[in-house]
């Protein structure tokens, strides 16, 4: 069929590979575990699509039939016939003249069938239409790979001159005849004499009487009275050479249509009088070959872009792109989501209706205005939210100018990239299912641009391909090296999701209390702490300006930590929050690698969490800061001048008390003052806020009580500060871990006491003890409750789903470099890069590819049971059946190669005929056929043959 077969990726395949590399780099840098899975799945697809191409090419036979001739200014139809005896294949063929592609086509060749296509090559000038090469390529269904070769170049096609339109009639001339003095011409009417026989003379014209008498072959000549004949002479034309040839071509065509005889005379060429199709063809050929030939090369004109691309392929691509972009609806501003999907909808409608195209200037204007608006919305286009938003808008704008398969494939690649960016926001099971659906839809759409699409779109081939690539993806997911740190740092900014800001202002925590999203999960290795110990420490606020509490950095030696209670070891799975805080159980005593413990006993990491991460921590009750920095203690006594004089006076009245009694006095004031715990407190004034709360509204949330209590303590002469974090947590019985939600965000106070250090005091617990003993919802309805209400059926179902999410986090999202090293160590492979690892990795990858290769090989077998049996016989003997070869001829050819198998092959032929043509149920005959094929082995004789020896 072809010569010089070579396997290489297509341009789309190289773009696909570039996408895989980019997503892999992003996953490595940002630790997107689920992104690793998608990247490796696409890698498996990229490799798996190349596997069956050699098998397809071996069973493919291609013929190129050139036309007998063509006419200048028209097209020459070259017929391509392709037959495959193997699996269904995609064949792309090109007709080239030098670097110019004259025509190309891609056709689908179904298994066991013949496909036909016509390639129309423009014949711009007379002469010879020459092909310098006929490259062909066998493509995979997605067009990622091509197995390239070349067909034998056919002979040049003669291109006749274009007949002149409206040419005058050919001139009339008389020719001198012979015999009897009359003007005659060659004809079939009268005998005019004998002449020696010439090769090619008809046997009917031979005078056999003379031959019998003389032994010499003589041929009878006949003539007829001469009528009017056409003699087409070069001298009858004038002007440029091509114009003269065009007129003569018009004369020849007109005389051919009339059936009139004519002769042709060109400089150096003489064509005698004749008529008929063969005579006209000879005349046109002489005109086509007349020298000099036109100097301009025969090349294809530049084809204009189609007004609209293929309807089904584009609609399928737009639908798949819409599926990929759908999660952005939940994150983008309403105007951005509306604009993006409106553009996609308009592009889809244009495929079925005649709507005006969107001009390029308007596309540029929309892109510019959209970028400006999104930059104003997010502050930058380089971050997570701004970057994905502008990418979605550009993809939608690109859909409006899609004009070719190249544009359609680019849309598919953009959709795959957008799918990978969703992992910046979430890596849960639902996101994984959406990514799988998006990839299947985008790959199915991309396949429609490779060959003439079917009438309907189906995801089945893409899902089958993803299933074949899954073992490779799992193997790479487990064994591919996972670095511990990023390659570079880029902002993944977005709205804070932990609910803990860098400062505290009245209303911050009450707003969070209405958010029931998960903040983090904690899985304890031993006993779970009691409710009064479930304070999850976050940022510490020490600077106060009368309205806002903020964090400060106080220089000096680190304070002391003196453990006093049991050790709690637990894994903390933080949801994406964009902040550096590790919400450790108070007080943290050991932090993971890459994290630090600040001088305010706050665990923090150097890498803000933009994705879900898992940390191993250790905490225990302790006395904090017994030997505290004096500068810090002095700072934690400062209050703004002139603010809240009534609260200041109240606290100063306690200065003669011991430190413990001052704390108790403040708590008693809250306990006995008819204070209310609520999510909707009244707005406090900017001035004298503490006075307005303690002596006015007496209604607030945790930040109100913590801020007022810290003010009272400082006014009473005790260093105090506010600690932000979370309080409590819900134990999930299906897994035994603790769930801490955003609504569990809490603020409490720390007061420094001599010989005791920083002592936690939670003034909210005085007003609503249920906030500590139960949970937020119980504290709001029954503030004095001592236990939480048992969850109902809906809450239990929610906990079960969260258990699935937690296991997913453990096995997939939380799989990082530390877990990989632990797994490799337990498997006895050492670390990444060790000798056992390097030896086992290629073996495991080969085993991962094996199922896909076996499935593809099985799919290459014919579906018909009888044909499949012959296919298996040919594979066993290394002699495949040729296209169109009968069963008898095929088995005879096999018997010539293996004479010892002639008897067994006879049994195969008889069983095949019975299975194919015998009446009734063919099941028994098919069983006999499979048995006969199985027993047919080179070098062995079985059955009756053995008995005859």
Would you name the residues annotated as active-site residues? 702, 746, 762
Coil, helix or strand for 311? helix
Q: Let me know: does 737 contact 546? Beta carbons within 8 Å.
A: no
Residues 6 or more apart in contact with residue 639 via CB below 8 angstroms: 544, 648, 711, 714, 715
Residues 6 or more apart in contact with residue 615 via CB below 8 angstroms: 571, 572, 574, 582, 591, 592, 595, 605
Q: How far apart are CA 921 and CA 28, in angstroms?
A: 60
Q: How far is CA 598 from CA 555, 581, 601, 747, 749, in A?
A: 11, 11, 5, 19, 18
Helix (H) or strand (E) holding 738: strand 737-741
User: Measured at the alpha carbon of residue 24, what is the angle toward residues 20 and 27, in degrees to the nearest 5?
Assistant: 140
- For residue 121, which of 138, 97, 153 has the smallest C-alpha distance? 97
- For residue 435, which of 811, 40, 140 has the smallest C-alpha distance? 40
User: Measured at the alpha carbon of residue 688, what is the angle toward residues 687 and 690, in degrees to the nearest 5?
Assistant: 130
Q: How far apart are CA 778 and CA 774, in angstroms?
A: 6
Phi, psi for residue 742 in degrees, rounded to 5: -60, -35
Place of tokens 């048995």: 931
Q: Let me know: does 546 contact 587? Beta carbons within 8 Å.
A: no
Pairing of the two strands 60-65 and 74-84: antiparallel
Q: Let me know: does 649 contact 691? Beta carbons within 8 Å.
A: no
Coil, helix or strand for 857? helix
DSSP 449-471: TTS---SS--SHHHHHHHHHHHH
Q: How far apart are CA 55 and CA 51, in angstroms?
A: 8
> In 615-645, which positions are buried (b, 16+ CB within 10 angstroms) versus exposed (e)?
bebbbbbbbbbbebbeebeeebeebeeebbe
The reply to whether omega before 75 is within 30° of 0 (cis) is: no
Please compute Rg for the chain using Cα positions. 44
Residues 6 or more apart in contact with residue 714 via CB below 8 angstroms: 544, 636, 637, 638, 639, 651, 720
The first and second tokens of residue 52, run together, are 């069956």
Residues 6 or more apart in contact with residue 194 via CB below 8 angstroms: 207, 210, 218, 219, 220, 221
Coil, helix or strand for 362? helix
Q: What are the respective helix, strand and coil percentages of the chain, to the nearest 5?
A: 45, 20, 35
């Amino acid at each position: 069929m072809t010569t010089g077969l070579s396997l290489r990726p297509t341009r789309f395949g190289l773009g696909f590979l570039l996408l895989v590399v980019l997503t892999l780099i992003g996953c490595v840098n940002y630790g997107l575990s689920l992104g690793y899975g998608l990247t490796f799945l696409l890698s498996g697809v990229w490799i798996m699509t190349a596997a069956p191409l050699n098998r397809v090419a071996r069973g493919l036979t291609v013929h190129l039939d050139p036309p007998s001739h063509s006419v200048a200014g028209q097209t020459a139809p070259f017929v391509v016939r392709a037959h495959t005896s193997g699996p269904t294949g995609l064949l792309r063929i090109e007709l080239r003249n030098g670097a110019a592609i004259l025509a190309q086509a891609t056709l689908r060749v179904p298994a066991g069938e013949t496909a036909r296509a016509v390639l129309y090559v423009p014949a711009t000038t007379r002469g010879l239409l020459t092909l310098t090469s006929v490259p062909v390529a066998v493509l995979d269904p997605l067009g990622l790979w091509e197995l390239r070769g070349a067909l034998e170049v056919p002979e040049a096609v003669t291109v006749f001159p274009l007949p002149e339109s409206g040419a005058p009639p050919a001139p009339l001339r008389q020719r001198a005849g012979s015999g009897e003095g009359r003007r005659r011409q060659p004809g079939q009417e009268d005998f005019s004499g004998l002449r020696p026989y010439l090769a090619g003379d008809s046997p009917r014209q031979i005078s056999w009487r003379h031959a019998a008498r003389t032994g010499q072959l003589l041929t009878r000549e006949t003539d007829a009275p001469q009528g009017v004949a056409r003699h087409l002479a070069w001298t009858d034309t004038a002007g440029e050479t091509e114009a003269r040839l065009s007129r003569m071509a018009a004369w020849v065509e007109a005389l051919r249509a009339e059936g009139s005889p004519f002769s042709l005379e060109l400089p150096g060429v003489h064509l005698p009088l004749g008529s008929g199709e063969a005579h006209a063809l000879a005349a046109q050929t002489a005109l086509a070959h007349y020298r000099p030939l036109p100097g301009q090369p025969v090349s294809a004109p530049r084809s204009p872009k189609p007004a609209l691309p293929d309807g089904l392929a584009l609609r399928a691509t737009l639908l798949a792109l819409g599926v990929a972009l759908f999660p952005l609806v939940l994150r983008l501003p309403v105007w951005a989501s509306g604009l993006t999907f409106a553009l996609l909808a308009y592009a889809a409608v244009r495929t079925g209706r005649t709507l005006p195209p969107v001009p390029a200037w308007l596309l540029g204007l929309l892109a510019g205005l959209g970028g400006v608006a999104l930059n104003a919305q997010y502050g930058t286009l380089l971050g997570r939210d701004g970057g994905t938003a502008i990418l979605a808008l550009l993809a939608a704008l690109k859909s409006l100018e899609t004009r070719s398969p190249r544009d359609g494939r680019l849309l598919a690649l953009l959709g795959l990239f957008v799918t990978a960016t969703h992992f910046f926001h979430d890596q849960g099971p639902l996101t994984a299912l959406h990514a799988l659906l998006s990839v299947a839809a985008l790959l199915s759409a991309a396949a429609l641009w490779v060959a003439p699409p079917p009438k309907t779109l189906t995801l089945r081939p893409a899902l089958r391909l993803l299933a074949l690539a899954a073992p490779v993806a799992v193997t790479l997911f487990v064994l591919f090296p996972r670095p511990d740190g990023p390659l570079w740092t880029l902002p993944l900014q977005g709205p804070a999701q932990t609910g803990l800001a860098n400062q505290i202002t009245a209303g911050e925590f009450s707003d969070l209390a209405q958010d029931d999203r998960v903040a983090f999960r904690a899985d304890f290795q031993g006993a779970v702490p009691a409710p009064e110990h479930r304070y999850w420490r976050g940022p510490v606020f020490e600077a106060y300006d009368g309205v806002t509490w903020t964090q400060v950095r106080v220089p000096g030696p680190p304070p002391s930590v003196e453990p006093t209670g049991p050790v709690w070891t637990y894994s903390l799975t933080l949801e994406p929050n964009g902040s550096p805080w590790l919400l450790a159980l108070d007080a943290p005593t050991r932090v993971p690698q890459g994290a630090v413990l600040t001088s305010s006993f706050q665990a923090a990491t150097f890498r803000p969490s933009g994705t879900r991460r898992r940390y191993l921590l250790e905490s225990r009750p302790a006395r904090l800061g017994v030997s505290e920095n004096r500068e810090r203690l002095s700072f934690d006594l400062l209050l703004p001048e002139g603010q809240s004089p009534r609260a200041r006076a109240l606290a100063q009245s306690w200065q003669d008390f011991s430190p413990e009694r001052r704390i108790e006095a403040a708590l008693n004031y809250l306990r006995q003052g008819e204070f209310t715990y609520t999510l909707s407190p009244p707005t406090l004034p900017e001035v004298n806020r503490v006075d307005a709360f303690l002596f006015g509204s007496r209604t607030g949330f945790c930040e109100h009580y913590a801020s007022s209590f810290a003010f009272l303590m400082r006014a009473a002469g005790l260093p105090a500060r506010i600690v932000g974090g979370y309080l409590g947590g819900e134990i999930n019985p299906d897994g035994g871990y603790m769930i801490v939600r955003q609504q569990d965000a809490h603020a409490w106070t720390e007061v420094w006491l001599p010989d005791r250090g920083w002592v936690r005091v939670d003034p909210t617990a005085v007003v609503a003890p249920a906030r500590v003993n139960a949970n937020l919802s119980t504290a709001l309805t029954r503030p004095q409750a001592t236990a939480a209400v048992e969850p109902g059926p809906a809450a239990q179902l929610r906990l079960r789903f969260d258990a699935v999410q937690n296991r997913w986090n453990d096995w997939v999202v939380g799989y990082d470099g530390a877990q990989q090293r632990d797994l490799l160590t337990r498997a006895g492979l050492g670390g990444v890069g060790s000798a056992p690892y390097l030896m086992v990795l290629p073996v495991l990858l080969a085993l991962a590819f094996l199922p896909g290769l076996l499935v593809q090989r099985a799919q290459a077998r014919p579906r018909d049971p009888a044909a499949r049996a012959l296919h298996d016989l040919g594979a066993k003997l290394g002699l495949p059946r040729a296209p169109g070869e009968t069963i008898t001829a095929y088995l005879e050819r096999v018997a010539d190669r293996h004479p010892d198998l002639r008897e067994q092959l006879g049994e195969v032929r008889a069983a095949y005929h019975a299975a194919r043509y015998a009446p009734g149920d063919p099941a028994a005959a098919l069983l006999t056929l499979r048995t006969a094929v199985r027993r047919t082995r080179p070098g062995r004789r079985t059955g009756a043959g053995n008995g005859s020896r």
